[in-house]
């Protein structure tokens, strides 16, 4: 992906949901966002906006570079990040808290300025992702019906993940 639209999609996301600006190595961050942009284009072309209750699993999703933007852009879908590394999952949850705070702050500002470019909170408030019917130990990154209430994590080996899903993705 060498197009000139480097900020395609990322300009719609909270700054804390991006890699660029949040990574100590600028070149690596730009390369990672290029990979993410390509994956997001493919996924967003596959999943229609009307796709209610679609479950997308990001296998080896680490700290949520792909999972968080997907959860923000597809509030009608359930996003599950699966990773063996407990530290990565912990980082994802920490990053999610920052994203939620940024979105909440932007929503408060939006109510004053009526700028809807970062109005994720209002888009998500009407969504209610059903909790999983499985006994899997999934941990939600947000509050149900709120910002990132559709983003879940599973910490463990891929072969132990037994929850039903519609789409599987992996960036590596």
pLDDT of residue 129: 52
Contact in structure between 129 and 149 (CB atoms under 8 Å): yes
pLDDT of residue 113: 67
> Average pLDDT of each block of 10 consecutive residues along the chain (172 residues)?
56 86 81 89 86 91 95 94 97 96 87 56 48 70 88 96 95 80
Distance of CA 56 to the CA centre of its chain: 10
pLDDT of residue 19: 85
pLDDT in tens, 84-113: 999 999 999 999 999 999 999 988 887 776
């Amino acid at each position: 992906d060498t197009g000139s639209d480097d900020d395609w999609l990322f300009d719609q996301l909270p700054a804390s949901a991006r890699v660029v600006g949040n990574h100590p190595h600028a070149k690596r961050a730009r390369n990672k966002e290029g990979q993410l942009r390509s994956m997001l284009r493919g996924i967003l072309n596959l999943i229609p906006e009307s796709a209610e209750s679609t479950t997308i699993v990001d296998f080896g999703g680490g700290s949520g570079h792909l999972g968080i933007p997907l959860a923000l852009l597809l509030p009608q879908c359930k996003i599950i990040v699966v990773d063996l590394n407990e530290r990565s999952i912990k980082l994802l949850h920490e990053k999610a808290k920052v994203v939620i705070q940024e979105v909440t702050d932007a929503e408060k500002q939006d109510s004053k300025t009526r700028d809807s470019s970062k109005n994720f909170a209002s888009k998500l408030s009407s969504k209610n992702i059903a909790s999983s019917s499985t006994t899997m130990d999934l941990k939600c990154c947000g509050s149900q019906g709120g910002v990132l209430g559709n983003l879940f994590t599973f910490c463990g080996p891929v072969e132990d993940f037994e929850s039903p899903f519609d789409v599987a993705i992996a960036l590596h």
